[in-house]
Amino acid sequence: MSKNPTPEFIEPAGPTPRVRAGKTSSRSIEHFVAPLAETPLQSVDKVDESATPLSMWGQAWRSLRTQPLFIISALLIILVIVVAAFPGLFTHTSPTACALEFARKGPMPGHPLGFTFQGCDIYARIMHGAQASVLVGLFTTIAVLIIGGTFGALAGYYGGWLDAILARITDIFFALPLILGAIIIMQLPAFRDSKSIWTVIITLSIFGWPQMARITRGAVIEAKSSDYVMASRSLGLSKFKTLVKHVLPNSLAPVIVIATISLGIFIVAEATLSFLGVGLPPSVMSWGNDISDAQISLRNDPEILMWPALALSITVLSFIMLGDAVRDALDPKARKG
């Protein structure tokens, strides 16, 4: 009986080592192994242990500052806020200085967008009209955050009968359309006889908080089952303090996203109410009032309506794009690495 041959190893002739398996047949099987110097495995999974781990907000900011969508929308929003706060930096023409001899005339030196049918400078009115629209959107969003955030947080964290009552109240208001409900409220004598920015803010806040309450309630329900909440309760912290110190801060991501998008929606709502004649009084300059006044010249001079409508569209689109960018950055499923 013949013995199996002993495996023999052949020294590689070239730069790549080559190992020849044992001869089990007339043909030999060659295996090629790359040199260790060409496969630095030690640096493949190397982790920088000295780096400080980023929080959720730190990772979101690192993602946001590289997104063109966020950069463009943030720059546009900053521009709109500066225009609303300091319109005198962008125009020295009074928006109320109207002369009929310039009515419906086109652009001229010092008046780049032309004049309205009453001879008012369109560019100056757009610059000064941004203030009312931005104020309505900003303060309505703050009021909605307070009302809807409080109701949603209490309902989601405590549950039980409190959740049932607040959920039914939310459903009642959620069933009422925002614009339709605002039109009805603005026709009440108390609001109709004293139209102002604050009456519009109160009206939009009454019908705008249910969506915020639902988003907050869902985020709180998801966060309250976390381990850090159980640890906080086991250490003797009360339910309310746990809600304020731990649950709410970890539920802000979806709330911030919906608040950013809602701000643009409330600006559109104010413009719609003013366009219908039930929003801001004519004495207050806003993009909605300018669009409403320009509709009589839509056929012959459409640019009078186009410019305030374009300013409104760009502002609202900026807030919506910012909300989309923030949502993608705060969504763990959409975040890469």
Is residue 322 a part of any domain in this protein?
Answer: yes
Cross-strand pairs, 121:
115
Total domains in the fold of the chain: 1
Is residue 179 a part of any domain in this protein?
Answer: yes
Is residue 183 a part of any domain in this protein?
Answer: yes
Instruction: Assign residue 326 the CATH number of its domain.
Output: 1.10.3720.10
The answer to whether the CB of 94 falls within 8 A of the CB of 124 is yes
Is residue 226 a part of any domain in this protein?
Answer: yes
The answer to whether the CB of 161 falls within 8 A of the CB of 187 is no
- Residues (pLDDT < 50) of the chain are 1-2, 7-10, 18-19, 21-23, 336-337
pTM above 0.85, yes or no: no
pLDDT at 41: 54
Q: Residue 263 is part of which domain span?
A: 133-330
- 178-186 vs 197-224: helix axis angle to the nearest 10? 140
The answer to whether the CB of 289 falls within 8 A of the CB of 200 is no
H helices of the chain, in order, are 56-64, 68-85, 122-158, 160-174, 178-186, 189-192, 197-224, 227-234, 239-242, 252-275, 287-294, 303-330
Is residue 191 a part of any domain in this protein?
Answer: yes
pLDDT at 19: 47
Whole-angstrom Cα distance, residue 170 to residue 174?
6
Is residue 164 a part of any domain in this protein?
Answer: yes
The answer to whether the CB of 301 falls within 8 A of the CB of 118 is no
Name which of 254, 252, 267, 270 is nearest 319 in CA terms: 267
Is residue 292 a part of any domain in this protein?
Answer: yes
Whole-angstrom Cα distance, residue 214 to residue 280?
29
Whole-angstrom Cα distance, residue 223 to residue 245?
12
The answer to whether the CB of 93 falls within 8 A of the CB of 124 is yes
Report residue 276 as tokens: 């219908």
Is residue 140 a part of any domain in this protein?
Answer: yes
